[in-house]
Chain A
Amino acid sequence: MISPVSISSVAAALILSPLLRSIINRTKAGFAGRQGPPWLQPYYDLIKLLRKGAVYSRTTTWIFRASPVAGLTMALGALCLTPMGGENSVLHFEGDLLLFAYMLGLWRFFTILAAMDTGSSFEGMGASREAFYSALAEPALLLGLEGLALKAQSASLSGIYAALENSVSAGGHAATLIFIMLAFLIIYLTENARIPVDDPTTHLELTMIHEVMVLDHCGVDLAIIEYAGALKLWILGLLITGLFVPIQAGATWLNLGASILCLFLLAVLVGVIESVMARFKLVKIPQLLTGAFVLAALWGVWIARTQL
């Protein structure tokens, strides 16, 4: 039985996710001494793109056109698997965390294919970078999720986050969650192409990772990609906020509201990170991702020790 709260959480994601970008941009603007774009700018951008036609390079094939839709499909799929506010997600079953992780993987796979489909040397470079860094980020994410699964004795995202809530309110190992939160934060910044891993605002193709892969997309395709990107900010954000919002607000609707607020705070945090530090050198990024992996592994080992 799908609860109205689960439906509402999906609806909230679909409607509010572009706002996360806005919050990040406004935070950065504050640090830069600027007013920043209007709060609804990401929505205006999407509407503008939806009204535009598309230009396709003759080098590209159907893969290039299919990629944005495939990406959005994966985003929606992953969204349905993600619990919010302690409530079960719309879709949940034992082992859905693997499906979740590999939907993100398939999404990336299509983005990379489309980038290579253009035959551009820039996009090829971006694709190879994306493949390399995600190959390092994915194990960290999986290991983190599996550690959580071990702790919750459930291989479903909904089960994991529900169990977390109980253990924290029972005064469990809340402090140790900091490890996994840090690991997920690094993955969050990597997957969403934010500083210090990638710079979403740069115009310099040679330095880009994610942006360069979507350079050839325009119009509706680009709108879909941008919207799916906003959903990614939301979905992966929930993995982090779910770890530290198990404070019971008392009512399920309040929990939902608290989750959304925490996502907004996370966006502020991303904005702050982007405002106070420079991007890493590309060769240093694997070290950062290895750090995430080590954090996740340490935590997993610790959990395994206490559980077994």
Chain B
Amino acid sequence: MAGQSIVLRNNQPVALTEIPRLSLDAFRAWTVSQVEAGKRLAVLCCFPQIHGFLLCAVLADDANGWLELAGAEAAQEFPSLTPQCVQAQLFEREIFETYGLRPVDHPWLKPVRFPCASHHPNHKIGEMDYFQVEGPEVHEVAVGPVHAGVIEPGHFRFQCHGERVFHLEISLGYQHRGVMQALLQASESQRRHLMETAAGDATAGHTTAYCNALDALAGRQAPARAHAIRGIALEFERIACHIGDLGAMAGDVGFLPTQAYCGRIRGAALNMTAAICGNRFSRGLIRPGGVAYDLDDAIIRHLLERLEAVRADAVSAIELLWITPSVLERFERTGVVSKEIAEEIGLVGPAARACGLNRDVRHDFARGIYQFQQIPIASVESGDVYGRAMVRWLELLRSMTFVREMLLALPDSKIMSEPGAMKPESIVVSLVEGWRGEICHIAVTDAQGELSGYKIIDPSFHNWFGLACALRDEAISDFPLCNKSFNLSYCGFDL
């Protein structure tokens, strides 16, 4: 398929002119055929040009570790990929909502976020059409957007038959902040804060993706020590969040000991990040060109001690899950997503690895420290809540080993590289494995080398639909457990 696309590595900038401009039909045919051939639609987005729009599709070839980028110019509409490629459905709805570029023949152009742009003129916050099931004894249950727990807003609409769920529809977008628009008007130091809060619990993930993208465009390479510290922050984030999730899943099945202890252990894990930069969610740590805080011997010793304590506590609290029959009974065969479905809808992160898909950016598209120090991919085949819990547990153990090795052999170098000007009229795709999965950032520069386009895809954007699939034919009372086993971000989706 020469000439139809350009092959890129993760964080490899290319000039915008090098992107092949296909005709809209060829673009559609190429994307659909590539997805059918087993590649994954990482991004489908569009960037406004002087005349019309540039549609971009980035396909991830996980097996070979490269990305394929193709483009097409569109004026007002383009043929929808969704009928042949499910992975495109949400991207196309987003494109339509943001730019009014209509995907022709898209089955249902529902709003993605509130408040919607003028392209959905009649929609108010929270008002939208739902897929409905009719029949005797079929009932509808609406949950949210205001929830009983301290969680973010989202609306869940269940079509039920007794306790059984026929269909779940998830409607998000209640806290749309316009992050991607704000980014383009912000100064570099303001952008950093926007990145840190793109999804507050994945700060290290999003800031690393952002900084990697900017570094690549500026042709600067963060020093080895900075890459190592970024890796440590990413893994600390993963450790803390996975511990918190496992505790919360135990809480949802009413299993007290793991729930009670994980809450505290998560705090201890977050405090390790705070020991590096003073903030428990690594805000202010990762900067373009490197990191802002170095680790001295005292901190390293402290972190190694804390890490061992966290590991011992986590093992004693979490291994209870795997030896308690009543817990296993709740986890196993609950909320199953088959490997075929997971592949078709393009799941990422632990949710995908729980279905037997060996996808991990740290392995497939390794950048920074992960090029030198590999973490084995943790995957199981079952696709159920147990699978998602087990993947988290295995990842957490492996992350702890990784961080320990990093701390013991931290490369000796500066932590910040010299600044450089960004390449004009270039595009870069930056992938990072956040704790929820693949975080993808795309940065585009204009003729002056300033950012002119920026696209963020949080792993939640891919995975919310997976949660809806997991609930098919499941008991409605198991929804909270399934939801927690995915634990997706609302604000990372809403942006």
Residues of A near any B CB (own CB < 8 A): 28, 31-34, 121-122, 124-125, 195-196, 199, 201-207, 274-284
Contact of A204 among B163, B257, B334, B480 (CB under 8 A): B480
| Additional A-B contacts beyond A125-B476, A201-B254, A283-B163 (20; CB < 8 A) | A28-B256, A33-B260, A121-B139, A121-B140, A121-B142, A122-B141, A125-B163, A203-B148, A207-B481, A275-B257, A276-B257, A277-B255, A277-B326, A278-B324, A279-B326, A280-B329, A281-B329, A282-B475, A283-B475, A284-B329
For the complex, is B479 an interface residue (Cβ under 8 Å from A)?
yes
Contact of A32 among B257, B334, B476 (CB under 8 A): B257
Most chain-A CB neighbours within 10 Å: which of B148, B330, B476? B148
Closest Cβ neighbor of B264 among chain A residues: A33
Interchain CB contact under 8 A, A32 and B260: yes
Interchain CB contact under 8 A, A278 and B141: no
Contacts of B330 in A (CB 8 A): 278-281
Contacts of B163 in A (CB 8 A): 125, 282-283
Q: Among residues 398 to 427 in chain B, which have CB atoms less than 8 Å away from a CB atom of chain A?
A: none
Most chain-B CB neighbours within 10 Å: which of A125, A203, A278? A278
How many chain-B residues does the 8 Å CB contact rule pick out? 32
4 closest Cβ contacts across the A-B interface? A32-B260, A279-B254, A278-B253, A278-B255
Rounded to whole angstroms, the CA-CA distance of A274 and B141 in the bound complex is: 29
Rounded to whole angstroms, the CA-CA distance of A32 and B264 in the bound complex is: 11
Most chain-A CB neighbours within 10 Å: which of B140, B256, B329, B330? B256
Closest Cβ neighbor of B329 among chain A residues: A281
Q: Among residues 266 to 291 in chain B, which have CB atoms less than 8 Å away from a CB atom of chain A?
A: none
Closest Cβ neighbor of A201 among chain B residues: B254
Rounded to whole angstroms, the CA-CA distance of A196 and B143 in the bound complex is: 25
18 of the cross-chain contacts (CB-CB < 8 Å) are A31-B257, A32-B257, A33-B264, A121-B139, A121-B140, A122-B141, A125-B141, A204-B480, A205-B148, A206-B143, A207-B478, A207-B481, A278-B250, A278-B254, A278-B330, A279-B253, A279-B330, A283-B163
For the complex, is B149 an interface residue (Cβ under 8 Å from A)?
yes
Interchain CB contact under 8 A, A282 and B254: no
Contacts of B475 in A (CB 8 A): 281-283
A277 touching B324 in the complex, CB below 8 Å, given contacts A121-B141, A203-B149, A206-B480: yes
**B406 to A: closest C-beta gap in Å:** 31
Interchain CB contact under 8 A, A206 and B254: no
A278 touching B326 in the complex, CB below 8 Å, given contacts A121-B139, A195-B254: yes
Interchain CB contact under 8 A, B252 and A207: yes
Closest Cβ neighbor of B250 among chain A residues: A278
Interchain CB contact under 8 A, B254 and A202: yes
For the complex, is B64 an interface residue (Cβ under 8 Å from A)?
no
Contact of B254 among A32, A33, A122, A274 (CB under 8 A): A274
Contacts of A122 in B (CB 8 A): 141
Interchain CB contact under 8 A, A33 and B261: yes
Interchain CB contact under 8 A, A206 and B253: no
Q: Among residues 471 to 491 in chain B, which have CB atoms less than 8 Å away from a CB atom of chain A?
A: 475-481
A34 touching B480 in the complex, CB below 8 Å, given contacts A207-B252, A281-B475: no
**A192 to B: closest C-beta gap in Å:** 14
Contacts of A282 in B (CB 8 A): 163, 475, 477
For the complex, is B327 an interface residue (Cβ under 8 Å from A)?
yes
Interchain CB contact under 8 A, B149 and A34: no
Contacts of A202 in B (CB 8 A): 252, 254
Residues of B near any A CB (own CB < 8 A): 139-143, 148-149, 163, 250, 252-257, 259-261, 264, 324, 326-327, 329-330, 334, 475-481
Interchain CB contact under 8 A, A34 and B254: no
Contacts of A34 in B (CB 8 A): 260
Contacts of B479 in A (CB 8 A): 206
Contact of B261 among A32, A196, A206, A284 (CB under 8 A): A32
A204 touching B252 in the complex, CB below 8 Å, given contacts A121-B139, A278-B326: yes
Interchain CB contact under 8 A, A275 and B329: no
Rounded to whole angstroms, the CA-CA distance of A233 and B256 in the bound complex is: 21
Closest Cβ neighbor of A204 among chain B residues: B480
A206 touching B324 in the complex, CB below 8 Å, given contacts A274-B256, A275-B257: no
Contacts of A279 in B (CB 8 A): 253-255, 326, 330
Contacts of B257 in A (CB 8 A): 31-32, 275-276
Closest Cβ neighbor of B484 among chain A residues: A204
Rounded to whole angstroms, the CA-CA distance of A205 and B147 in the bound complex is: 9
Interchain CB contact under 8 A, B140 and A196: no
Closest Cβ neighbor of B158 among chain A residues: A206
Rounded to whole angstroms, the CA-CA distance of A144 and B139 in the bound complex is: 37
Interchain CB contact under 8 A, A32 and B256: yes
Rounded to whole angstroms, the CA-CA distance of A31 and B254 in the bound complex is: 13
**A212 to B: closest C-beta gap in Å:** 10
Closest Cβ neighbor of A209 among chain B residues: B477
**B130 to A: closest C-beta gap in Å:** 14
Most chain-B CB neighbours within 10 Å: which of A34, A204, A274, A280? A204
Rounded to whole angstroms, the CA-CA distance of A32 and B255 in the bound complex is: 10
Contacts of B481 in A (CB 8 A): 207
Closest Cβ neighbor of A275 among chain B residues: B256
Contacts of B476 in A (CB 8 A): 125, 206
Contacts of A207 in B (CB 8 A): 252, 477-478, 480-481
Closest Cβ neighbor of B328 among chain A residues: A278
Closest Cβ neighbor of B143 among chain A residues: A206
Interchain CB contact under 8 A, A199 and B254: yes
**A120 to B: closest C-beta gap in Å:** 10
**A249 to B: closest C-beta gap in Å:** 35
**A45 to B: closest C-beta gap in Å:** 18
Rounded to whole angstroms, the CA-CA distance of A124 and B480 in the bound complex is: 18
Rounded to whole angstroms, the CA-CA distance of A42 and B477 in the bound complex is: 28
Contacts of A205 in B (CB 8 A): 143, 148
**B276 to A: closest C-beta gap in Å:** 28
Closest Cβ neighbor of B263 among chain A residues: A32
Rounded to whole angstroms, the CA-CA distance of A90 and B479 in the bound complex is: 47
Contacts of B140 in A (CB 8 A): 121
Rounded to whole angstroms, the CA-CA distance of A259 and B171 in the bound complex is: 54
Rounded to whole angstroms, the CA-CA distance of A246 and B233 in the bound complex is: 63
Interchain CB contact under 8 A, A204 and B261: no
Contacts of B478 in A (CB 8 A): 207, 281
Contacts of A199 in B (CB 8 A): 254
Rounded to whole angstroms, the CA-CA distance of A33 and B253 in the bound complex is: 19
Rounded to whole angstroms, the CA-CA distance of A28 and B330 in the bound complex is: 21
Contacts of A195 in B (CB 8 A): 254
Interchain CB contact under 8 A, B326 and A196: yes
**A210 to B: closest C-beta gap in Å:** 13
Interchain CB contact under 8 A, B141 and A204: no
Contacts of A281 in B (CB 8 A): 329-330, 334, 475, 477-478
Rounded to whole angstroms, the CA-CA distance of A281 and B141 in the bound complex is: 19
Rounded to whole angstroms, the CA-CA distance of A147 and B149 in the bound complex is: 45
Rounded to whole angstroms, the CA-CA distance of A202 and B479 in the bound complex is: 14
Contacts of A32 in B (CB 8 A): 256-257, 259-261
